[in-house]
Each structure stands twice: as C-alpha cells, then as structure tokens.
Amino acid sequence: IKNTFDHIMGQVIRMMNYDRAGNMASAVSTKLSLNDAKLVFHRLDDGVMGGRSNTNQEMINTINGILFAGTIDTNGGGFTSIRSPINNGLPADAKGIRLKYKGDGKTYKVLLSEGNGAGGPWASSPSWQADLKTKSDQLEEQNIDFSSFKPSFGGRGSSRNELDKYIFKQTDMRQIGFMLSLKLSNGDPNPVETFGEGVFDFRLEIHEIDLF
C-alpha cells in the first residue's frame, strides 16, 4: 500500500511541477515553415500527467530541420511530443502533408489540431493523428493524406459516434506536432518493436515539411 501511495504522490507532484507555460515561453524557432508560417516548437511530454518522459527542447533546431529527440520512461507515462503553431492555418485546396525524415525504426505520430489544448482528455475538439512509420537511420519521404488523420482525445481511439461527429477541416488547423506514444493513432497499443519498453531514447529528424 505504501509503495502504491508513494507512486501516486510522485505522479501528482510531477504533474503539479510540470512547467507547460515555461516550455511554450522558451519555444525553439526552426528553419522550416508551413504555409508561409515559421515553425516554432515547444515540448509537451507525459510530465503534464505525472510521467517521467522528456523531450530535449534545446536540441530541436540543432539540425537543418527539426530534431525530435529525448527519453521515454514507461513507468507511469509513455509519450513525448513537440508542437508548433501554424498561425496561417492550412489552405482549403491542400490534400495533405509531405515529409522528408529520418527515424530510428519507431512508429511516431503526426498531429494536427485547432490548438488551445485540443485533443486533451476533456477537450471539446480532438487532436487529429496519423501514424508515421520509420526505418532505422534511413532517409524517407511520405505523403500523408488528410483523410488518414484520425480524431483522438487523450491518446485513446475514437468511438464510432466520434468518428461520425468530428470532421477534419484543414482550414481550422492551427497547430502541428510530432509524437512518440505507447498508443497508435487508432488507439491500439504501439508494439514494443516500434515503440520500446522501460526507459529508452528516441530520435526523429524532420528534414522537410510541405503541403501537397
């Protein structure tokens, strides 16, 4: 009982101490842009819910693109992410996102949302998520059609009612991000082979990002 109590109290303390506003205030400008909007990323990790995972925010702009890297700790958590405003939104005639990237064999997720906390467990609008599979240390290119993005709240998969209720509108999107999570975009577990277990490092390089 004591161990359980200590574990819960540790999560509560970490949640209370998580500096989300500070992360946003120290957001890192990158050399990439989307729809003429410079991408400026901040981290949002499972510490917001009491976890121990960590994205190295200071490393984001250390390559000629975006470096999403850090450590996942599945003991009481299981996700890391970086997010940037897209103040101009996305044009109505765009069909999807085009990426050039180099990963580590893990399956990441691309995120789009209306911003302002969208996609949280108690949010009124979802985070739209699409899986991004990677091959270890290989430069890859992929077109991700907007139709493949799935609505999500707090990482869980959407019910049939939610799939019918929420309609993706790219002109409403005001935030883009990348995530490594123990859940895939449909809410299924991210397998150990494409996620990891225990405490482990991760690394995803985004070299180019565009619309098609």
Residues 121-152 have pLDDT tens digits of 778 889 999 999 999 999 999 999 999 999 99
Q: What pTM, to 2 d.p., does this model score?
A: 0.89
For residue range 72-126, list pLDDT tens digits in order: 999 888 999 999 999 889 999 999 999 999 999 999 999 999 988 777 777 888 9
Percent of the chain whose pLDDT exceeds 70: 87
**Backbone CA torsion sign across 132, 129, 179, 112:** positive
Is residue 79 within 8 A of residue 179, CB to CB? The reply is yes
The gap from C-alpha 38 to its chain's centroid, in whole angstroms, comes to 18
Total Cβ atoms within 10 A of residue 83? 22
Q: Which residues sit opposite 84 in a β-bridge?
A: 176
**DSSP code at position 172:** G
